[in-house]
Structure 1
């Protein structure tokens, strides 16, 4: 029996995607080999590679003004690649909403990039999205759209004339986006888009013409990968194959509008259980900043939290232990988590509160 996976990432993939991959694991479309075993220069693999890119374009409704890159190194490498490629002679501006933006800010400092933190929610332990106003002439304006640890999420994107850079690792492909102000949208695939190992970078083409910082390695230049159509070096072929299958699955759910509607129902069910628990459960994020992807909360008696996690596992629900920076409980309800999965968790939460409240 498969467990219900509430892990923050890597996390579960849609079962139909796994089953499809299983049927082709040793014999891809009757070709007599696995997709993992053939050259990334082959026509067979290129159909998967460029097919995944086409599906991403279709889901977000973007055209040729953007390049889609398949890279490696996760968000951590992007913390360096973005300032190395986008910083010019001005100031790069950041909004700090938790661990992941804090790491990006520290990487910019480590590289000697002229940067500024223009908004932060650190004083309240990152329990909300702060008001942020970026300078029109900033080299770029950087945010993380959803924080996996603290359970906060932007409800609307900041308006700025500067290129908006978004770390969307934990809410990628969870809702439609208006790309009007977006310069770069990026994230690891391992939450909503596939397995770990591939990082997706959607970059506006005019930004590829910026001059990278001196001595930037060839592999760390966005233009290197754009010019080679993400085939400059051997890409993570099997991860991209699963990405392609997952993108088709999202399309089959009604695209991003369909996924958004389901995700809203899932989040509302858990937040209702928290808010109607009579104080037994307490959410970390302020209500106007609540994430639809990651729900972090505490139990009134913190001694009950490890019991909650252990009992949930006995009931085939895993990944509910909160992050070490915050503690408590965290339910990550990415696209592959069904509404029925969430109802199972809500019933467990209600029963646990009755038993221990």
Structure 2
């Protein structure tokens, strides 16, 4: 039985990449040394890091005006590093569109005055907030481009004269992003890039200032140098994943596939008499699709029903419950087709928590 992993992260990786990693795990390129025991300052590993950055720059069309930093601490550490490093006036503007932007706001408040210039909290984040235009004197405007938990997605950016900062953890490499529109982009790797333990920051060089901060927390200390031992295994796998994306057709092909996959699932949800999507309209995410039957017991019954048929990690985030399918780059169309088939079977059989007709 083929198993399809719909986890929101750590998420599925391309099977061909996993096979490649397995094949050379004990001896990287027949050197007799595993990648996990190789010096991060060796010529071989430096070649990996250079290829990783070069591939990301090609895939996202990142100009030399931007530095690419590979860091640890996930996207969560960036909730603090961003206000620490971009602080000039000490006033930061944020759009509150979901759980992760809410967490970013809370951390930024440790370093300055946060202006929430739009919030959709009153709708339980079922909508995206409008920019209220009160952030023009702030050091930057922060938004979460794709809300992993709530399943919403920005397609139009606020019109503002200050640097845009965006969390792109769940849509990086999954759809086209015009890097030149932003002052800084950041992402955890564990969705579309590689294993957990790695994050990437793409920052316009004129925003990098050598500040009086602890060394690791200072962006300037990571520019064009390796400050400490990085997440070597995660970087190695990430380089192989990006090579796979390039071979497969690049970000344009990833976006085409993600649109096809999400359209297939949304079409079923919109016509179902049991399941329903939690997001409507043109703000629907391409990569994270929350849905429900409307009953917690039936949601749990379906999750078990699906697991018995090889579809795993369909539970919603612990903070909101329900169900969620994450359709990142490594999820094939066949996985979505199978999910729809299983949902149809569950709906037709009328299962509830007791496996009795509902």
- With the length of structure 2 as denominator, give the TM-score of the two structures: 0.95
Q: CA deviation at 1:157?
A: 2.7
1:195 counterpart SS class: coil
Q: Which residue of 2 aligns with 1:92?
A: 92
Q: 1:346 aligns with which of 326, 340, 343?
A: 340
2:223 counterpart SS class: helix
Paired with 1:337 and 1:132, the residues of 2 have a C-alpha distance of 33
Task: Tell whether the 8 Å contact from 1:284 to 1:298 is kept in structure 2 after alignment.
Answer: yes
1:223-234 counterparts in 2 under 5 A? 223-228=220-225, 231-234=226-229
Task: Tell whether the 8 Å contact from 1:137 to 1:161 is kept in structure 2 after alignment.
Answer: no
Q: Which residue of 2 aligns with 1:312?
A: 306
Q: Which residue of 2 aligns with 1:240?
A: 235
CA RMSD of aligned residues (A): 1.3
Moved more, 294-303 or 189-198: 294-303
Task: Tell whether the 8 Å contact from 1:57 to 1:63 is kept in structure 2 after alignment.
Answer: yes
Paired with 2:132 and 2:25, the residues of 1 have a C-alpha distance of 49
Q: Which residue of 1 aligns with 2:75?
A: 75
Determine if the alignment matches structure 1 residue 217 to structure 2 residue 211: no
Task: Tell whether the 8 Å contact from 2:84 to 2:111 is kept in structure 1 after alignment.
Answer: no
1:88 counterpart SS class: coil
Task: Tell whether the 8 Å contact from 1:159 to 1:181 is kept in structure 2 after alignment.
Answer: no
Paired with 1:225 and 1:180, the residues of 2 have a C-alpha distance of 21
Q: Which residue of 1 aligns with 2:153?
A: 153
1:150 counterpart SS class: coil
Q: CA deviation at 1:175?
A: 1.2
Q: CA deviation at 1:2?
A: 5.1
Q: CA deviation at 1:59?
A: 0.4
Q: Which residue of 1 aligns with 2:280?
A: 286
1:16 counterpart SS class: helix
1:117 counterpart SS class: strand
Moved more, 89-98 or 187-196: 89-98
Q: CA deviation at 1:115?
A: 1.5
1:106-185 counterparts in 2 under 5 A? 106-109=106-109, 111-134=110-133, 135-185=135-185
Q: Which residue of 1 aligns with 2:270?
A: 275
Paired with 1:117 and 1:300, the residues of 2 have a C-alpha distance of 32
| 1:234-278 C-alpha deviation (Å, 9 max, x unpaired) | 001110000000001111121010000000000001101110013
Q: Which residue of 1 aligns with 2:42?
A: 42
Paired with 1:114 and 1:201, the residues of 2 have a C-alpha distance of 23
Q: Which residue of 2 aligns with 1:325?
A: 319
| 1:64-110 C-alpha deviation (Å, 9 max, x unpaired) | 1010000000111100000000021152100011111111101111x
Task: Tell whether the 8 Å contact from 2:275 to 2:292 is kept in structure 1 after alignment.
Answer: yes
Paired with 1:237 and 1:90, the residues of 2 have a C-alpha distance of 35
Task: Tell whether the 8 Å contact from 2:165 to 2:182 is kept in structure 1 after alignment.
Answer: yes
Q: CA deviation at 1:165?
A: 0.6
Q: Which residue of 1 aligns with 2:253?
A: 258
Which residues of structure 2 form unaligned runs of 5+? 351-357
2:166 counterpart SS class: strand
Q: CA deviation at 1:177?
A: 1.3
Q: 2:294 aligns with which of 295, 300, 316?
A: 300
| 1:96-135 C-alpha deviation (Å, 9 max, x unpaired) | 11111111101111x2412200011100000011222553
